[in-house]
Structure 1
Amino acid sequence: MYAVIEGVDTAGKSTQLDILKEKYQEAIFTKEPGGTEIGLKLREMALNGEAKSKVAEMFLFLADRAEHIEEVIKPNENRMVISDRSVISGIAYASNLPLEIVTTLNLIATSNILPSHIILLELTPEELTKRLAGKSNDSIESRGIDYLIDIQNRMKKTIEMLNLNYIYIDASLSIEEIAQKIEEFINE
C-alpha cells in the first residue's frame, strides 16, 4: 500500500501522520518534497524562494519526486508506505501550467507509480484564514488564501482526473474524528 495525506498547509497533515506513526509502526513514513537526501536540498531551495521562475520551482519538485520514487517507493513496494504529500501536490502547486502538461511531466517523474490511497484534508476559506493567521508563512503560504484554495481545488481535479482511490475529509472535524476516518479508509 502506498497511502498519502494531502492538503494545503495547516490542514492537519502532520498531526494525522503522528497518529498514523503510532498505529502503523511497521510502515515506512516519508514526505514529498524532502524524503531523500537530495530532496531535502531541493525542498529548502523551493520553500526559500530560491527559484525565481515558477517553471524552475516546478522542476525542483519534479527532481525531488523522481528521486523519491526511486529511493523510497520502489524499494518498499511490498510494504506499507505512508507519505506526507505526493504527485497530487506536485501537479496542483504547478498552477502556472495547464493541468494536462503538468500531469504528463509528473507521470514521467514517477514512472507512472501512483498512490493506492489518497486522503485529502479539506479546508474552507474561513478555516484556512484562521489557521494561517496563527503562524509565520513560507514563500508558498504567503501567496494568500485564494491561491491556496485554488491549489486545494486543483488537488481534487487531479485526484479525479487520475481516477485514484481517495477520501475527502473536512479538516475542521476533531483530530480524533479525522483519525478514525483515515484508519477506516486505510483498512477497507
Structure 2
Amino acid sequence: MYVLFEGIDTCGKSTQIRLIAAEHPEAIITREPGGTRFGEKAREILLEAKLQSKRAELLLFLADRAEHYEEIVRPNRDKLLISDRGFLSGIGYALANGGVSLEELIALNHFALQGDWPDHIIFFETDEATLRRRLGEKSADGIEERGIDYLLTVQEKMKEALPKLAIPTLILDARESVETIHQKIVTYLGI
C-alpha cells in the first residue's frame, strides 16, 4: 500500500510518520524530495539555492519524482510504503507559483509516476495561527521564507487538486492532538 502524507510545512506529517514507523518497522519510509541520492541533492538545491525560475523548480521536483518512483516506489509497491510528501505537494507549490495549469501538472506527474498513483493520501490541513506558531519554533528554509500567505496558498491549491485526482483521501485537522490524529490514520488505513 503506497500512501502519501501531504500538507504544508509544520503540519505534523513527519511526527505521524515516525509513530507509524515505530509501530510498523517493516514499513518503507521515504520522502520527496530526498528519498534517493539524487533526491538529496535536489532537496538541497530546492531548499537552499532559491532558484529564480519557477519552471526550473518544477522540473527539478519532477525529475526527483521520476527517480524516486523508479528507485523506491515501484520496487516496494507490495509493502507498506509511506512517503513524506509527493506529487500533491508538487502540484500545490507549482499552482501557487503560477504559470501552469492543474491539468498540465496532472499530466506531468502522471508521466513522472508512470501512471502509478498512490493508493491513499493523508492530507493535513492547518490554519494560520498554528502555522505561525510552529514556524516560529524553527529556522526557516528557502521555501518557508516565502511566507505564511504563500504556504496557505499552497495548502489551498493542494485541496483544490484533490477532487480532480480521485484518490482516496483522509483530510485531517492538524490542530488536533497527536494521539487523535494518529488513531484516525491507523483506523483509516487499517494498519
Query: Under TM normalisation by the shorter chain, which class is it?
Result: over 0.9
Q: CA deviation at 1:23?
A: 1.3
Task: Confirm or deny that 1:14 pairs with 2:17.
Answer: no
Q: Which residue of 2 aligns with 1:142?
A: 145
Partner amino acid for 1:63? A
Is the partner of 1:79 in helix, strand or coil?
coil
**Does the residue aligned with 1:25 lie in a helix, a strand or coil?**
coil
Residue equivalent to 2:80 = 80
- 2:17 counterpart letter in structure 1: L
Distance 1:77 1:136 in 2: 35
1:49 Cα deviation from its structure 2 partner: 2.6
1:17-96 to 2 correspondences below 5 Å = 17-95=17-95, 96=98
RMSD value over aligned CA atoms?
1.2
Give the Cα separation in 2 of the matches to 1:112 and 1:157: 20
Q: Tell me the distance in 2 between the aligned counterparts of 1:102 and 1:118.
A: 17
**Structure 2 length normalisation: TM-score?**
0.95
- Spell out structure 1 runs of 4+ moving beyond 2 A: none
* Residues 42-93 of structure 1: per-residue CA shift (max 9 Å, x gap): 1111111352201001111100000011011111121110110011111111
CA distance, structure 2, for counterparts of residue 34 and residue 133 of structure 1: 24
1:18 to partner: Cα distance: 0.7
- For 2:165, the aligned partner's letter is L
Q: Match for residue 4 of structure 1?
A: 4
**What TM-score do the two structures reach when normalised by structure 1?**
0.96
Aligned residues: 188
Give yes or no for contact 1:12–1:121 (8 Å, CA) kept in 2. yes
User: What one-letter code is carried by the residue in structure 2 that aligns with 1:183?
Assistant: V
> 1:166 pairs with 155, 165, 169, which one?
169
The question of whether the paired residues in 2 share the 8 Å contact of 1:117 and 1:165 is answered with yes
- The one of 133, 138, 149 equivalent to 2:136 is 133
Partner of 2:187: 184
SS in structure 2 opposite 1:48? helix
SS of the residue corresponding to residue 69 of structure 1 reads helix
- Tell which deviates more after alignment, 47-56 or 63-72: 47-56
- Partners in 2 of 1:77 and 1:120 — Cα distance? 20
- What amino acid sits opposite 1:20 in the alignment? I
**Structure 1 Cα separation of the partners of residues 158 and 121 of structure 2:** 11
Question: How far off its partner does 1:35 sit?
Answer: 0.6
Identity %: 46
Aligned AA (1:159): L
Is the CA contact (8 Å cut-off) linking 1:87 and 1:114 kept in structure 2? Answer: no
Q: Which position in structure 1 is the counterpart of 2:109? A: 106
Aligned counterparts of 2:57 and 2:49: Cα–Cα separation in 1: 8
